[in-house]
Amino acid sequence: MSLLEVNKLSVSFHTRNGVQQAVKNLDFRVDSGEILGIVGESGSGKSVSCYSLLGLIPCPPGRIDSGCGLFKGQDLLAMSEAELRAVRGNQIAMIFQDPMTSLNPFLRVGEQLIEPLVYHRGHTRAEATERAQELLDEVGIRDPKRSFFSYPHEFSGGMRQRVMIASALIAEPELLIADEPTTALDVTVQAQILQLISELQNRRNLAVVFISHDLAVVKDLADRVVVMKQGECVESGPGKAMFAQPQHPYTQDLYAATPQGAKAVESSCSEDILLEVNELRTVFPGNGGAAQPPLVAVDDASFVVYRGEILGLVGESGSGKSTLGRSILNLVQSQSGSVRFEGSEIRGLPANEMRPLRKQLQMIFQDPYASLNPRMTIYDCLAEPLLFHKVASAANVQQQVLTLMDEVGLDRRFVRKYPHEFSGGQRQRIAIARALASEPEFIVADEPVSALDVTIQKQILELLLNLVERRNLTMLFISHDLAVVRYLCDRVLVMQHGKLLESGATESVWQSPAHPYTQKLLASAVTL
């Protein structure tokens, strides 16, 4: 008998916009000592299916329509809330995506770890403390005795996720449900956490349900995989076999959409220097206290951008890559150095002198939900730069807006709609159209695809490649995702702690990374 066996599970949400089927007739099972990967894009019902088993979805609006979830022969869905509480956190533990918000910032880490042992199991504090310190050691936290008395903010994101794993394991569960546990983490940290989960599963004969949107992450980790789309399981089977030969068209799509390999076609770049950055330095002043000293976000960065190329800027979170991009465009004030655009200095220009240059220099932002004004229709949003930079006149602005929409692949019928009526991918197309409206030469794209699902990401990447070629654009592409950068960029810069460590043609950096950090970064990346 399997540890957990889910049969014909259907869950729906009843909202004022009608009934939405979140999960339809889902079957899966997990055995002891096995890792089951559940893969799907956002809204595919992968989290809802697990949450509903543990009674963690709000009902109403949620409703479990049918099915059963047998955990060691007992139906979880038939249990009362009190019975469920005994299972939840004891026999079935969970870890979540965001380790920053799942710990109470006012309590010492150790206090949070021993809480269930002391208050629910009646252990003495001394016993519980010893147990917790052993666990902290097991999940790879250095100096567990000291860490036990630390507060959550004293840990980095990866360390917090380790603490979360320790707190999930403290009650010795038999099943661990991990909901996107590495999505918020940097690649090097992600590699360590995946390693840890795999070790724990081996050592403790733990069953793991690993929910992820990323095929590449699941591929190496999971024994068996379930692929979900719009609430249904489209394919399931042993991991290795499925990745060798995906059967269902949707799995094949997912597979094909995950960026892999080198850039197919070289951009038509020249030796002509469009932008030259010299010893650019950006410092954020602290608050004067010891707790917040001044932060050197960009530390004497120097590089050139050739006309017509896509230059990748790779780094982990906090490396200063976004600040570098914004400093170039004068959106963040830099302290020293020079930025020359087409030969003339633009660093620190006052707003009125910068204004004509804004037409040439544009930016695409990461979060398509935050980068569009919610009170403006697409028409207003695109007409604004067209009219402001006098690219269009009042007479032909409508035509120009529609042309722009065609160019980024948006249906003309949507011209009067508002941002909240679009999906993430469509919004990102609007944001791209807005950046293109002033007919710029140079675009800084700050993580433009990292908030998107993999199939949408693929479409947006294709669109960007296409536009760069057609309009002869030059782009600085900022990303933490190595596979995307390799797929898109001609040359690449690697950044860490505000410093540029390495630069070169993408493939040569990939084949023979010179700097140890680059080597580590590339080794941590999971690939298909």
Smallest distance from another protein to CB 355, Å:
4
Q: Which is nearer to another protein, 434 or 486 (CB)?
A: 434
Asked whether position 375 contacts another protein by CB under 8 A, the answer is yes
The amino acid occupying position 308 is G
Nearest to 453 by CA among 128, 215, 127, 265: 215
Which own/partner contact pairs does 294-301 have at CB distance under 8 Å and 24+ positions apart?
A: 296/498, 297/323, 297/324, 297/498, 298/323, 298/324, 298/327, 298/334, 298/498, 299/497, 299/498, 299/499, 300/337, 300/499, 301/277, 301/337, 301/495, 301/498, 301/499, 301/500
Which range touches another protein (CB under 8 A), out of 157-165, 381-389, 463-471, 492-500?
A: 381-389
Nearest to 312 by CA among 120, 491, 472, 526: 491
Q: Which residues contact 464 (CB under 8 A, 6 or more apart)?
A: 310, 432, 445, 448, 475, 477, 488
Asked whether position 370 contacts another protein by CB under 8 A, the answer is yes
Q: Which is nearer to another protein, 421 or 462 (CB)?
A: 421
Cα separation, 49 vs 117, in Å, equals 29
Which range touches another protein (CB under 8 A), out of 119-127, 297-305, 397-405, 520-528?
A: 397-405
Task: Report cis status (omega within 30 of 0) of the bond before 60.
Answer: yes
Q: Which of 377, 400, 423, 455 binds another protein (CB under 8 A)?
A: 377
Cα separation, 37 vs 46, in Å, equals 10
Phi, psi of 361 (to 5 degrees): -115, 115
Which range touches another protein (CB under 8 A), out of 280-288, 398-406, 451-459, 460-468?
A: 398-406
Contact 506, 269 (CB under 8 A): no
Q: Which is nearer to another protein, 78 or 370 (CB)?
A: 370
Looking at residue 363, the DSSP 8-state letter turns out to be E
Looking at residue 98, the DSSP 8-state letter turns out to be -
Instruction: Enumerate residues 405-424 that contact another protein by CB under 8 A.
Output: 412-418, 420-421
Smallest distance from another protein to CB 452, Å:
15
Backbone torsion region of residue 18, taken as left when φ is above 0, otherwise alpha when ψ lies between -120 and 50, otherwise beta: left
Asked whether position 399 contacts another protein by CB under 8 A, the answer is yes
Asked whether position 372 contacts another protein by CB under 8 A, the answer is yes
Smallest distance from another protein to CB 52, Å:
18
Asked whether position 452 contacts another protein by CB under 8 A, the answer is no
Asked whether position 449 contacts another protein by CB under 8 A, the answer is no
Q: Which of 131, 248, 359, 497 binds another protein (CB under 8 A)?
A: 359
Q: Which residues contact 465 (CB under 8 A, 6 or more apart)?
A: 265, 310, 488
The interface mask with another protein, positions 51-80, x = CB under 8 A, is: ------------------------------
Q: C-alpha distances in angstroms, 141 versus 80, 193, 498?
A: 37, 12, 26
Q: Which of 384, 439, 469, 507 binds another protein (CB under 8 A)?
A: 384
Contact 180, 167 (CB under 8 A): no
Asked whether position 354 contacts another protein by CB under 8 A, the answer is yes
Q: Which is nearer to another protein, 382 or 492 (CB)?
A: 382
Asked whether position 14 contacts another protein by CB under 8 A, the answer is no
Cα separation, 207 vs 362, in Å, equals 49
Q: C-alpha distances in angstroms, 292 versus 289, 327, 335?
A: 6, 21, 19
Which range touches another protein (CB under 8 A), out of 120-128, 252-260, 272-280, 383-391?
A: 383-391
Cα separation, 399 vs 324, in Å, equals 36
Cα separation, 110 vs 242, in Å, equals 42
Q: Which of 93, 324, 346, 363 binds another protein (CB under 8 A)?
A: 363
Asked whether position 334 contacts another protein by CB under 8 A, the answer is no
The interface mask with another protein, positions 286-325, x = CB under 8 A, is: ----------------------------------------
Smallest distance from another protein to CB 368, Å:
9
Asked whether position 385 contacts another protein by CB under 8 A, the answer is yes
Total residues contacting another protein by CB under 8 A comes to 44
Q: Which of 438, 474, 518, 524 binds another protein (CB under 8 A)?
A: 438
The amino acid occupying position 512 is S
Q: Which of 208, 301, 361, 463 binds another protein (CB under 8 A)?
A: 361
Asked whether position 525 contacts another protein by CB under 8 A, the answer is no
Asked whether position 349 contacts another protein by CB under 8 A, the answer is no
Q: Which residues contact 142 (CB under 8 A, 6 or more apart)?
A: none
Q: Which of 58, 289, 343, 374 binds another protein (CB under 8 A)?
A: 374
Q: Which is nearer to another protein, 338 or 377 (CB)?
A: 377
E strand or H helix that includes residue 111: helix 109-120
Cα separation, 167 vs 140, in Å, equals 13
Smallest distance from another protein to CB 515, Å:
31
Q: Which is nearer to another protein, 361 or 456 (CB)?
A: 361
Summarize as ranges the residues that interact with another protein (CB under 8 A): 15, 17, 329, 331, 351, 354-359, 361-363, 365-367, 370-377, 384-385, 388-389, 398-399, 402, 412-418, 420-421, 431, 434, 438
